Amino acid sequence: MKIEEDIKLDYGDVLIRPKRTTLTSRSDVNLERTIKFPLSKQTWTGIPIIAANMDTIGTYSVYKVLSKFKIITAFHKFYDVENYKNMKKEGLNPDYFMVSTGISDHNFEKLKNIIEAIDVKFICIDIANGYMEKLVAFCKKVREHFPDKIIVAGNVVTREITEELILQGRVDIVKVGIGPGSACLTRTQTGIGMPQLSAINECADAAHGVNGYIIGDGGITCPGDVSKGLGAGADFIMIGGRFSGHDENPGDIVEENGNKYKFFYGMSSETAMNKHFGKMENYRSSEGRTVKIKYKGPLENTVNDYLGGIRSTCTYINAGEIKNIPKCCTFVRVNRQLNTIYS
C-alpha cells in the first residue's frame, strides 16, 4: 500500500499572514496583469479570473458582464457555430472568452468550424479526467492546426501530467482541480482528488518550471479563496458556483416560502446528461449535483464584491499588483478560520 504521508491542504486549512504595507487604499491596487505565452507567442492583459465553462455559467449573458471587467468567460461546449456567429454580431472580444471542446473527432471538426467563423484567441480542451493519454494526443493535434492559439487543457492535480501537457501536449495553460467544485461529486463517487490549495501549489511549481501557466479550477467559496489560490501560485482562478444564481444565469427564478432561487448543476450531473444527451448511460454514475441557489440579483454586484476582497488582500500583504500576490504571500495553518456563531 502506497501512502503519501505529507498533509495536503485546502483553502479552509490556511489563512494569509498580514505584513507591513506601504499601500494606503484598495484603489492603489492594480488587478490587471499581462501574460506572455511562449508557445502561442500571444500576449493577454486582464483580470486573471475565468467564469467556468458550465452551461449555467459559461454563457454569452455572463460574458457581456465579465468582459467589461476584462474577466474571461469560458463558454460551455454545447454552443455551436451558429451560436457563435450570432454572438459575433452582438460583439465578441477574443481576449475575454474561451471556446471549449472535448477530445472526440467530432469535437475537433466543430472546433475548426468555429475558428473559421469567428476570431478566437483561447481554446479550452476540457475533460473531467485529464490523465487520459488521448488528451495529450488531442492537445498536440490542436497545437499543430492552431499554432497561434492560447491552449488550455485539463483537469489534473499532479506535477507529472502538468509537465506532460505543457511539454508533450504543447499547451499554454493547465487547468487544475479534481473534485473541489460546489456541484461536483467526483470525490464521493470515485475517491479521486487532491485538496485544491496543495494541487495548485504542486502544479504551479511544475508548470512555471517549464514556462507554462495554470488555472485553479473550483473550490472557491468567498473572495478570500481567490486570493489564496493566487497566493499558492495559480495564474488564473476559475469560478463556477459563486457566479451562479444571478439575473444573467439561464433558468427561471423559483419561489419557495417567500425566497427566490435559481438552479445550478455540475456538467457531469444527471441533469446535464439528460439535457444534452437525452439520458445518463447505465455504465456511469452522476458525478455532479443539482443545487438550488438563492437568487442574487445582478452578477455585477458579486464581481465587485470579489474584486474588492482581492484588492483588500493586496493591501494587507503589500502587493501593489495582483501578479505580486504569490511573492508577498505567507500562509499559516489553522484549525479554524471563521467565527461561525451567527452563521
Asked whether 276 and 310 are in contact (CB, 8 A), the reply is: no
CA distance 22 to 31: 17
Q: In this structure, are residues 224 and 309 in contact, taking their beta carbons and an 8 Å threshold? A: yes
Q: What is the length of the chain?
A: 343
Specify whether 124 is catalytic: no
Q: What number of other Cβ atoms are within 10 A of residue 286's Cβ?
A: 18
Is residue 91 a contact partner of residue 84, using CB atoms and an 8 Å limit?
no
User: What type of residue is 17?
Assistant: R
User: In sequence order, which residues have a C-beta less than 8 Å from that of residue 142 and are 6 or more positions away?
Assistant: 108, 111, 123, 125, 149, 151
Helices 159-167/196-209 angle, 10° precision: 40
Give me the catalytic one of 184, 203, 314, 328: 184
Catalytic residues: 184
